[in-house]
Amino acid sequence: MTARRRWGFRARLAALIAGVFITGGVVLLGVQYLLVQQLFAQGISTITTGCFSTTDQSGHSSVSDDQLAETCTIGTGSGDDISVTGTGGGVGSVVVQQTTELSQEVLSGLLIWSVIILLVFAGLAVLAARWLSARSLDRISGITATTREITRDDLHRRLSLPGPDDEIKELGDTIDGMLDRLDEAFTRQDRFITGASHELRTPLTTTRTLLEIPLTQGRVPAELEPAVRGALAANARSERLIAALLALARVRHRDGALPLAPEADLSAVAAAALDGHERDIAARSLRLIAPVAAPAVAAAEPELVRIAVGNLVDNAVRHNRDGGELTVHAGTDERGAWIEVSNSGRDLTGTDLSALTEPFHRGEDSRLAGDGLGLGLALVETIARSQGGTLVLTPRDGDGLRARLSFPRRAGDDER
Type of residue at 215 = L
- List, in sequence order, every residue forming a beta bridge with 408; answer none if it has no partner: 336
Report pLDDT for 352: 66
**How does pLDDT run across 306-350, given as a tens digit for each residue?**
888 988 999 899 889 999 999 999 998 888 899 999 999 888 777
Closest by CA to 305, choosing from 380, 373, 193, 370, is 380
Return the percentage of the chain with pLDDT > 70, whole number.
Answer: 75
Q: What is the pLDDT of residue 373?
A: 55
Q: What is the average pLDDT score of the chain?
A: 76
What gap in Å lies between CA 324 and CA 219, rounded to an integer?
Answer: 40
User: What CATH architecture applies to the domain 264-415?
Assistant: 2-Layer Sandwich (3.30)
Predicted TM-score of the model (pTM): 0.50
Q: CA quadruple 256, 260, 264, 268: dihedral positive or negative? A: negative
Local structure of 259: helix, strand or coil: coil
Q: Tell me what pLDDT residue 396 has.
A: 87
Residue 133: what residue type?
S
Task: Enumerate residues 6+ apart whose C-beta is below 8 A from 77.
Answer: none
- Does the domain spanning 167-253 belong to CATH 1.10.287.130? yes
